[in-house]
Chain A
């Protein structure tokens, strides 16, 4: 069943300082089914983050429309949870209060929201850190809190904009496994933007490859690797084959960007 529909969505940034307007995103179509885990893969500057921000309602499309469960997206809302690449925890709130933020905005009682927050704290492995401030956490722990914060709101779709981009390789691998574990257990609809090919294959049930300048969808590749996936899958022949194919796709795009730079 389709939950998110992106129809002919385009985005042009207006001209500035006499430069021509920037076409960040060509008219794009994408359909995401219930409980899909779709990764959007592309080089930097291909408009993948722009697309995600439009779905989140943080940016308006120049043309086309996005519908979630049949209702058109006109602005940000609690039905689309977002995890950003930058650390966006509220520094004045503890881990537990951060996770409970959305619940509080909805008027959930303190007792109930603490119960829900604590369940998510356990799920992302942050037990014992409930009362820490974001400043006292490592980057990986901050992003785990951010994921828990988005999930605690029980959104219809979870949007992630290169959430592990700033983390070191080991931490990133652990975070991928944690996120995939949550998805395999709880079945969520996820749209995950990344420029990391391995990450896109490991997490996604489907990889959407975007091309650069102007940004548009170049290919969609199904990932038929079995679940639950462990990190060991990254060395199987099937995985490596997919990776080779995507490396080719991305390489031509990256070259195009380099030539225009």
Chain B
């Protein structure tokens, strides 16, 4: 822990050396102190907390929507070969479609409101989750499935009481991972045609050449990501004690 923190200190030291030492022009990179001041200014006077709230809601909303649809589909694909044969080629193709490239189209379809932002996150996450869940469920230990059959389980019982609980920890890990990616999509979505959110604040600051605000925004995203990751991990550990026993 202490060792890991050392790198953060080193990073800030390097940054301070470059900015306070005058090695980099103020126009391109604000120094740490200015960043903190700008950050305080943002939070206290410009209602930045509201922007943070908006961004979190978009990520969580779009991601939840994707998870609700992707997890059951992935489970079905992993459990039933015909479903997999039917969907896998399309999902594999769709997975490579860049979510950000859909933004102009989504603006056309859904306007520049919240729905458009949610859809960007949704498109960016849903295909990834489907495929990864399908692979995980498909890789369920064969001998556990056979054991369940010899104990009298039928197909429904196999899915609900073998495939699902056996894949659940991995599915939770997949969601944690993809949630991290969703954070990059939301900022892209907010850079274009948005009137609130962290991404919107960053584009505004760019117009004003306020690099302090931009860096503060980026750091806030990093911190939120770190916190959500930690919460997710703690929640998984609480949910699946048998994995750690």
Q: Do A and B come from one complex?
A: yes
Chain A residues engaging chain B, CB cutoff 8 angstroms: 56-58, 75-78, 80-82, 84, 86, 88, 90-93, 101-102, 104-106, 133, 135-136, 149-150, 153, 159
Tell me which residues from 131 to 152 in chain B have a Cβ below 8 Å from any Cβ of chain A.
141, 143-144, 146-152
The answer, yes or no, to whether B7 is at the interface (CB within 8 Å) is no
The answer, yes or no, to whether B157 is at the interface (CB within 8 Å) is yes
Q: Is the CB of B150 within 8 A of A82?
A: yes
Of the candidates B147, B152, B165, the one whose C-beta lies within 8 Å of that of A88 is B147
- Given A78-B152, A82-B147, do A105 and B242 touch, yes or no (CB 8 Å)? no
Q: Is the CB of B153 within 8 A of A105?
A: yes
Of the candidates A77, A86, A105, A153, the one whose C-beta lies within 8 Å of that of B157 is A105
Q: Interface majority SS on A: helix, strand, loop or mixed?
A: loop
Nearest Cβ on chain B to A144's Cβ, whole angstroms: 15
- Given A86-B143, A133-B245, do A92 and B165 touch, yes or no (CB 8 Å)? yes
The answer, yes or no, to whether B166 is at the interface (CB within 8 Å) is yes
Q: Is the CB of A58 within 8 A of B148?
A: no
Residues of chain B within 8 A of A135, CB atoms compared:
242, 245
The answer, yes or no, to whether B240 is at the interface (CB within 8 Å) is yes
Chain B residues engaging chain A, CB cutoff 8 angstroms: 141, 143-144, 146-154, 157, 161-162, 165-166, 168, 240-243, 245
Of the candidates A80, A86, A104, A106, the one whose C-beta lies within 8 Å of that of B150 is A80
Q: Is the CB of B152 within 8 A of A92?
A: no
Docked pose: A131 CA to B242 CA in angstroms: 11
Nearest Cβ on chain A to B94's Cβ, whole angstroms: 32
| Total number of residue pairs linking A and B with CB closer than 8 Å | 75
Residues of chain B within 8 A of A149, CB atoms compared:
151
Docked pose: A170 CA to B153 CA in angstroms: 34
Residues of chain A within 8 A of B154, CB atoms compared:
105
15 more A-B contacts (CB under 8 A) besides A82-B146, A92-B166? A58-B149, A76-B146, A76-B150, A78-B150, A86-B143, A88-B146, A90-B144, A90-B165, A92-B168, A101-B151, A102-B151, A102-B152, A105-B151, A105-B157, A135-B242
Residues of chain B within 8 A of A136, CB atoms compared:
245
Residues of chain B within 8 A of A84, CB atoms compared:
143, 146-147
Nearest Cβ on chain B to A180's Cβ, whole angstroms: 22
Docked pose: A26 CA to B165 CA in angstroms: 40
Docked pose: A133 CA to B141 CA in angstroms: 17
Q: Is the CB of A105 within 8 A of B152?
A: yes
Docked pose: A159 CA to B154 CA in angstroms: 20
Docked pose: A150 CA to B146 CA in angstroms: 13
